[in-house]
Amino acid sequence: MRRASLLSPLLAAAAAVVVAVVSAEPASTLSGPSRPVTVPLGDRGHAVDLPDTDPRVQRRVKGWAPEQIAVALSAEPTSAWVSWITGDFQMGGAVKPLDPSTVGSVVRYGRAADSLLQEAAGESLVYSQLYPFEGLQNYTSGIIHHVRLQGLEPGTKYYYQCGDPAIPDAMSDVHAFQTMPAVGPKSYPGKIAVVGDLGLTYNTTSTVEHMVRNQPDLVLLLGDVCYANLYLTNGTGADCYSCTFAKSTPIHETYQPRWDYWGRYMEPVTSTIPMMVVEGNHEIEEQIHNKTFASYSSRFAFPSEESGSLSPFYYSFDVGGIHFIMLASYADYKKSGEQYRWLEKDLAKVDRSVTPWVIAGWHAPWYTTYKAHYREAECMRVEMEELLYSYGVDKMATSHADEAGHCPDPASTPDPFMGGFCASNLTSGPAAGSFCWDRQPEYSAYRESSFGHGILEVKNETHALWRWHRNQDLYNTVGDEVHIVREPHKCLIDSTRLAY
Ligand SMILES: [Fe+2]
């Protein structure tokens, strides 16, 4: 089975108490540990993609009018990114990239819809996905624009139009978004939605509709965006690319228009609710010259420069009293590598008296017991776990549990991008059901395989509420919830790092 509309088993770990415990009553990380719970697998049905004939994925603008408009956060609430695309993509044997300099990148904005007196300009680019093999088609994108707004008031609604005011009918409608609360220990956003493995299926539409009805202020998308790599360049899709196409194609193709379909479908959400994305394995998308991540790196804006990482794959940002860190499962994570060095510096800079909470997110889970991708990220865990603990990171969120899998041979190397296995499998016994292994380990408090979305509400310096909303329930029904309580004074680490 492929693509959930969202991460399934997501594990929340508090630094003070590692295991999040769930019971029939609303639980807290202070009340454990209790017996781990596994909810029997239900039939999640078959994931069916939205077809290219669905009006929600079709191009709705003409000429150079903007589409696929999206807002992302910068490193601080006083700044934000607005991104969009002008012009249409091309598919074919011979594609001619558009010239990004022909369409300007301007955002006009202000605090009232009829008074957009501030203006910011930005940059534009195109990317191509090239497969110079007989019978395959190439892709080149529309012009992708990224503009950073600065000097914003935190916690304030801003109206904006984007486009090129010098070209007739090339400015968007007026949209609006809310900046994040000011950085400080007493200020927190209302709801933060956490999704992953989103895709563009009818499960996706269910997840997104549920999520929007819960009115999040911010969306974290933890990788695996549109699954364009489950398609051939002729637009033929498959549930399982490696089963269906692997032997008949010279390279793992993708069908890049799926990205545009996804951007169009998501625009009503992304143009009004800031969304922060980090890469998953489905964004690797290898093309000629071993080039990877072209679409991911080009389409989204990241606060990479603002947070000192200079990489689209990992970055950080502050929202009220929370310091978010997005990490890369698919870039070098070794202690000797750039990501690790950046992470060390970033963590060292965090002042817990200003942002008491440090929350990290990435794609490939370290602690999952789900069969799919079981222990794939072990190398990353071995390299980085100690560092995150040493700085008392309060919570982590991951994704990547979207496909059927098998409990692996510890000596195998299922995914070269993940570096193989870094430790032998210490859990013994036969695999059963969809989990590895029969016996649920102590670090796993609750496991359930449903599509849905998570909502995190940080209440104050010490208390947060994590809720899991399943697609099969009403949007406001809680499938699972746990209070996450910070106890920094109990952590056996340098107290100066945790003072608040
Ligand atoms: Fe994944």
pLDDT of 180 higher than 60? yes
What is the Cβ-side half-sphere exposure of residue 383, based on CA atoms within 13 angstroms?
24
**Phi and psi of 464, rounded to 5°?**
-140, 155
406 is known as an active-site residue: no
pLDDT tens-digit readout, 415-474: 444 444 443 333 323 333 556 655 666 667 777 777 899 999 999 999 999 999 999 888
The residue written with tokens 């008491």 in the block is: 356
Confidence of residue 499 (pLDDT cuts 50, 70, 90): very low
Contact 486, 462 (CB under 8 A): yes
In this structure, the strands spanning 118-121 and 106-110 are: antiparallel
With CA atoms as reference, report the closest residue to 82 among 128, 57, 118.
118
**pTM (2 d.p.):** 0.89
Confidence of residue 219 (pLDDT cuts 50, 70, 90): very high
What does the pLDDT read at residue 24?
A: 52
The residue written with tokens 């914003």 in the block is: 152
Distance 209 CA to ligand 1 centre (A): 22
With CA atoms as reference, report the closest residue to 131 among 253, 270, 294.
253
- Pick the catalytic residue from 175, 373, 400, 469: 373
Distance 164 CA to ligand 1 centre (A): 36
What structural domains and CATH numbers belong to the chain?
A: 27-65+185-497 (3.60.21.10)
The residue written with tokens 């955002």 in the block is: 107
What does the pLDDT read at residue 423?
A: 38
Helical ranges in 188-238 per DSSP H:
202-213
The mean pLDDT of the chain is 85
Confidence of residue 88 (pLDDT cuts 50, 70, 90): very high
Using a pLDDT cut of 90, give the percent of the chain over it: 66
Distance, CA of 69 to CA of 79 (rounded, Å): 17
Distance, CA of 147 to CA of 84 (rounded, Å): 9
The amino acid that residue 406 corresponds to is: H
Confidence of residue 4 (pLDDT cuts 50, 70, 90): very low
The residue ranges of DSSP E strands in 391-441, in sequence order, are 395-397
Distance, CA of 31 to CA of 277 (rounded, Å): 33
Distance 483 CA to ligand 1 centre (A): 27
What does the pLDDT read at residue 409?
A: 52
Confidence of residue 143 (pLDDT cuts 50, 70, 90): very high
Contact 282, 252 (CB under 8 A): no
The whole-number average pLDDT for the span 202-224 is 96
Distance 246 CA to ligand 1 centre (A): 18
Confidence of residue 479 (pLDDT cuts 50, 70, 90): confident
Distance 415 CA to ligand 1 centre (A): 11
Using a pLDDT cut of 70, give the percent of the chain over it: 80
pLDDT tens-digit readout, 355-371: 999 999 999 888 776 66
pLDDT tens-digit readout, 301-340: 999 999 999 999 999 999 999 999 999 999 999 999 999 9
3-state secondary structure of 466: strand
Distance 105 CA to ligand 1 centre (A): 33
3-state secondary structure of 434: coil
Contact 463, 474 (CB under 8 A): no
The more confidently predicted of residues 170 and 432 is: 170
pLDDT of 11 higher than 70? no
What does the pLDDT read at residue 492?
A: 46
Give ion ligand 1 contacts, CB < 5 A: 224, 280-281, 400
Distance 224 CA to ligand 1 centre (A): 5
